[in-house]
Amino acid sequence: MRPYNITPSRYVGELRLNMAKNLMQNNPEIRVKDVAELVGFTDYFYFSRVFKSHEGVTPSQYIKSISTTDSAPKTK
């Protein structure tokens, strides 16, 4: 990503969403409300709307898809 091709607020927003995804991937048991607060969103519902508009799924669905993928048997 080239940060100088987007506005500073959009760049920061994308960084926060990427941090949120990393938190959820590394801690699938974490509450979405805690993720929102850790990445700087004071309103959980706003975080959920922004996340869904960016990723196409809610944060809860994202976590569920990660845990489903991780628990699936690995094939060679």
Domain at 3-69, CATH class: mainly alpha
DSSP reduced 3-state for 64: helix
Domain ranges of the chain: 3-69
pLDDT at res. 76: 44
Q: What is the pLDDT along the chain (76 residues), one digit of tens a residue?
A: 555 788 999 999 999 999 999 999 999 899 999 999 999 999 999 999 999 999 999 999 999 998 877 654 444 4
pLDDT at res. 3: 55
pTM of the model: 0.80
Alpha-carbon distance of 62 to 20, in angstroms, equals 11
pLDDT at res. 1: 53
